[in-house]
């Protein structure tokens, strides 16, 4: 059987002018993951990255840590949804310092995401239906590009990873919402691919990261 490893990007620059850049910790997470994958004897046949800067930077860090020299193919289907727009369409509660209160931010993020996934509002550049369809198509392309015993490593984000996992568990939007809350930076979600398509093998594996290297955003 073939294998697909979906890697969430390392920690991005939360709160900075350009979020779409790895932080110093995110760079370290990527190199640590690469070294761990090499130790496990993983030798990919295909490397794929979403088109976001944090995806490409994670790919470079993992390849550096693993000693891989394969070219990386870009597939925009693995891009994250526009979380900044999703948040902007559902204003933060008044009188709460969102940046200083992680629980308040999480509650706001969940409420904003629920509005987006509900489908009752059409004020988004990309609907949840379109997002989920393009991620499913990206997964199908990845499966189609693998040989019988091939291994693909894909550098992407928590949203696409959670959707790929949810669909393989016969779940939908509700399961996606639950999974998307817990994906750790530089964690690995793996699938095996056989005659029945892709089957989820492990979700959000992050034992290669020590507690001080574990982050959610």
Whichever domain contains 12, its CATH number is 3.40.50.1240
pLDDT bin (cut points 50, 70, 90) of residue 16 is low
Q: What is the pLDDT of residue 17?
A: 67
Q: Establish if 133 belongs to a structural domain.
A: no
Q: What is the pLDDT of residue 10?
A: 98
Q: Establish if 103 belongs to a structural domain.
A: no
Domain that holds residue 72: 2-79+148-213
Q: Establish if 20 belongs to a structural domain.
A: yes
Q: Give percent of the chain above pLDDT 90.
A: 84
Q: Establish if 113 belongs to a structural domain.
A: no
Q: Establish if 167 belongs to a structural domain.
A: yes
Q: Could you please report the per-residue DSSP string of 123-174?
A: -SSS-HHHHHHHHHHHHHHHHHT--TT-EEEEEE-HHHHHHHHHHHTT--HH
- Report residue 197 as tokens: 């398509």
Q: Establish if 31 belongs to a structural domain.
A: yes
Domain count, the chain: 1
pTM for the structure as a whole? 0.94
Q: Establish if 120 belongs to a structural domain.
A: no
Q: Establish if 158 belongs to a structural domain.
A: yes
């Amino acid at each position: 059987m073939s294998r697909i490893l979906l890697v969430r990007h390392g920690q991005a620059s939360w709160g900075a002018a350009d979020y779409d850049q790895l932080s110093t910790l995110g760079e370290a997470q990527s190199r640590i993951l690469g070294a761990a994958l090499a130790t496990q004897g993983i030798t990919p046949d295909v490397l794929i990255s979403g088109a976001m800067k944090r995806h490409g930077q994670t790919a470079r860090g993992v390849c550096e840590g693993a000693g891989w020299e394969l070219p990386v193919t870009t597939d925009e289907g693995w891009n994250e949804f526009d979380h900044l727009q999703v948040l902007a369409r559902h204003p933060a509660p008044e009188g709460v310092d969102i940046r200083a209160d992680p629980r308040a931010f999480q509650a706001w993020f969940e409420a904003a995401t629920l509005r987006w996934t509900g489908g009752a509002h059409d004020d988004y550049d990309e609907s949840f239906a379109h997002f989920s369809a393009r991620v499913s198509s990206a997964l199908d392309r990845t499966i189609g590009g693998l040989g019988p015993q091939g291994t693909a490593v894909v550098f992407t984000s928590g949203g696409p990873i959670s959707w790929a996992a949810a669909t393989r568990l016969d779940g939908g939007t509700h399961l996606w919402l639950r999974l998307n809350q817990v994906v750790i930076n530089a964690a690995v979600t793996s699938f095996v691919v056989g005659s029945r398509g892709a089957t989820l093998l492990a979700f959000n594996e992050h034992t290669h990261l020590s507690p001080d290297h574990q982050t959610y955003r």
